[in-house]
Structure 1
Amino acid sequence: MGKLQSKLKHSTYKYSRPDGILEERIQTKACQEYSPAHVDTVSVVTALSPDLCVSGGKDKTVVAYNWKTGNVVRRFKGHEREITKVACVHRSSQFFSASRDRTVMMWDLHGPSQPRQQFSGHSMVVTGLAVSPDSSQLCTGSRDNTLLLWDIGTGQCAERASISRNLVTHLCWVPREPYILQTSEDKTIRLWDSRGLRVAHVFPTKQHIQTHCEVSEDGNKCISCSSGFGGEGCEATLWDLRQTRNRICEYRGHFQTVASCVFLPRALAWMPTVATSSHDCKVKIWTQDPGACLFTLSLDGSGPLTSLAVGDTVSLLCASFSRGIHLLRVDHSQGLALREVAAF
């Protein structure tokens, strides 16, 4: 296991300098080929610690992987169908996986090979997972139009809510708050109050399916992204959670569905930034406001990019349809740049 070989990787990107001039650069970097985490498409990836990530895919397995050494730490099997979502418990070795088999399982990196808990309550594929800030509750969402709120300690369902045509695509919990952000195939973004699981706010309806959402670490802003094709749709939108009537700005430049969006740590850039990944095989970095594209990295040959996660203060993890997980690193040697350093 571990590092297998190093390949020369050509990356073409455009860089918007602080003076507003857009430059296109080509760089050739060695990309390490690590032992693969999965044998098929990777659906989702998230960071568990500063050197470990958790991922799931079509091979029905959940994998804990050390991206700094290039090794599988543990492989968890229990689901009968593709993994759709993973979510980690804050400052813990525990994490959850959701699947097309309609179940959610709770795992412990240092525990037995069997799941610690199994949550069964949805009638269709589970497409949303969010853990409360105090790690006591789990919210799940599905294409069956329902949200379920679970007591993690007992494994019992505490609340249930259903809205017609609310086909959930993603869930995330607002830090230090009792609120849950949710995107849907009905083109709507909802903010739920976990106290009774009621809708607290509905954002203005978008023109395309909302595929993913993320909340900033301070809990003041959120970002959502949309489906699309040929440049129609394919945008991400920044919202202010304190004044939820209007969007702050939109990020336009992808040409296919934007599947994932994340807020980047301040250490990655000299200004507040966000990153997006798309089915067009590109990862883009944007200024939060006014939404200028600082950088575009093309991961050609990877197929659609399915998931994006912050690894540490200088790294991003990007799951793909054809080439597993890409380890991307921020490079400040020539302004703000992003390069692929490994794939697994």
Structure 2
Amino acid sequence: MLLLRCQLEQSTQEVPCTLWAVMGKLQSKLKYSTYKYSRPDGIREERIQTKAFQDYSPAHVDPVSVVAALNSDICVSGGKDKTVVAYNWKTGSVVKRLKGHEREITKIACIPKSSQFFSASRDRTVMMWDLHGSLQPMQQLSGHAMVVTGLAVSPDSSQLCTGSRDNTLLLWDVETGQCVERASVSRNLVTHLCWVPREPYILQASEDKTIRLWDSRGLQVAHMFPTKQHIQTHCEVSVDGHKCISCSNGFEGEGCEATLWDLRQTRNRICEYKGHFQTVASCVFLPTSLALIPVIATSAHDSKVKIWNQNTGACLFTLSLDGSGPLTSLAVGDNTSLLCASFHRGVHLLRVDPSQGLELREVATF
């Protein structure tokens, strides 16, 4: 036995260093996942599938807090490693790695049809970057007293709204980098911001369990939706600007839901989506080209991504990203792709297959 052990140790030492270098590059792996499928008729099925996916070198060395799509090829992500990474998810390569923040990246907002984007951080600053520019930020915006937790770019790209745990919203002129409006509401700890398409309104989620609609003309509260039972963690507006969704924190199935609201006339709650067992961190409207019915997607701390029938609240598909830990952010990549940030396995590239009943598959991680 002693002789055998010595031979094994000797053979291990003779492995070339190049082998270890290859192991950090692109690998093809088999992913074993259990898919829970809830049909509109209430029948729940279990699907166990084996799928090959691409495992690229990680873009981040620590948990990823946020991911956003800059265009149909490039996404931008940030996390606890204080780094902003622009990544081509179709080629599996880092386009740019940007460092400037002193603490964790909390939010990213992209300027539509542009190579420019903003990043917010726990260091209380917001930075503006250009994918085709230098490694230094174009602007640094400072005005909040606590961590910046909300970013929203106006439809015409001329203004940026930022929100913070200091209960304050700031409105910035993108061209000059000057703060032009400031508003503060007691106990309004901002969790997320998004701008309503083609409108001067900003939607905001808060830890005080409310969703507010702000008028950017003077930065005044235009409407408050009925208070929910749990902290609202995220909000999103549909492309047509008619509806919005928000999601909440929770534990063991209590809370852990998404809510659809009407932005046009009554602004009442339309539908709720219940099925996650831990905090729902992100929610998005999926492209209308995916299905004959409108659908939305949610990601949660229970490591699951769900696709829902927007009208009925039925869960159409559940993908469990085992080993990923809490899922922190969800973004639409293109007509059939979703990008999902996680604590333990970086960013996941997911593909929706309309021909298979909106089946959701993991195709890559980076």
Could you list the per-position Cα deviations for residues 310-338 of structure 1 after superposition, in whole angstroms to 9, with x for gaps in the alignment? Answer: 00001000000000000000124432200
Counterpart of 1:80, as a letter, is: E
CA–CA distance in structure 2, aligned partners of residues 226 and 257 of structure 1: 6
Match of 1:178 among 200, 204, 219: 200
Higher helix share: 2
Which amino acid letter does the alignment assign opposite residue 251 of structure 2?
F
- Report the AA paired with residue 246 of structure 2: S
Cα offsets for 1:260-310 (capped at 9, x unmatched):
000000122231000000000000000111110000000010000000000
Q: Check the 8 A contact 1:331/1:338 in 2, yes or no.
A: yes
Q: Whole-Å Cα distance in 2 between the matches of residues 149 and 194 of structure 1? A: 8
1:195-219 deviation per Cα after TM superposition (whole angstroms, max 9, x unaligned): 0000000000000000000000000
Q: Is the 8 A contact 1:15 1:336 kept in 2?
A: no
Which residue of 1 is the match for residue 253 of structure 2? 231
Partner of 2:95: 73
- Higher-Rg member (1/2): 2
Following superposition, the deviation at residue 11 of structure 1 comes to: 1.8
Equivalent position of 2:156 in the other structure: 134
Residue 38 in structure 1 maps to residue 40 in structure 2: no
TM-score, normalised by the number of residues in structure 2? 0.92
Cα distance in 2 between the residues matched to 1:16 and 1:207: 26
Q: Name the structure 2 match of 1:6.
A: 28
2:221 and 2:104 mapped to 1: Cα distance? 30
| Matched letter for residue 358 of structure 2 | L
Q: Distance in 2 between matches of 1:26 and 1:294?
A: 16
CA contact (8 A) 1:127 1:170 kept: yes
Deviation sequence 1:219-241 (CA, Å, 0-9, x none): 00000000000000000000010
- How many residue pairs get aligned? The number is 344
Q: Distance in 1 between matches of 2:174 and 2:242?
A: 26
Identical columns (%): 85
Secondary structure of 1:267 counterpart: helix
Rounded to whole Å, the distance in 1 between the matches of 2:241 and 2:25 is 38
Query: C-alpha displacement at 1:21, in angstroms?
Result: 3.2
User: Whole-Å Cα distance in 2 between the matches of residues 330 and 19 of structure 1?
Assistant: 21
Specify the alignment match of 1:303 in structure 2.
325
Match of 1:95 among 99, 117, 123: 117
Partner of 1:159: 181
Counterparts of residues 248-327 of structure 1 (less than 5 Å): 248-327=270-349
The aligned runs of 1:197-212 (5 Å cut-off) are 197-212=219-234
Q: Which residue of 1 aligns with 2:71?
A: 49
CA contact (8 A) 2:110 2:153 kept: yes
What is the RMSD of the two structures over their aligned residues, measured on CA atoms? 1.2
TM alignment of 1:116-127, pairs within 5 A: 116-127=138-149
**Do the aligned partners of 2:40 and 2:314 also contact (CA within 8 Å) in 1?**
no
Q: Using the alignment, how far apart are the partners of 2:219 and 2:354 within structure 1? A: 44
| 1:114 lines up with 2:159 in the alignment | no
Q: CA deviation at 1:19?
A: 5.1
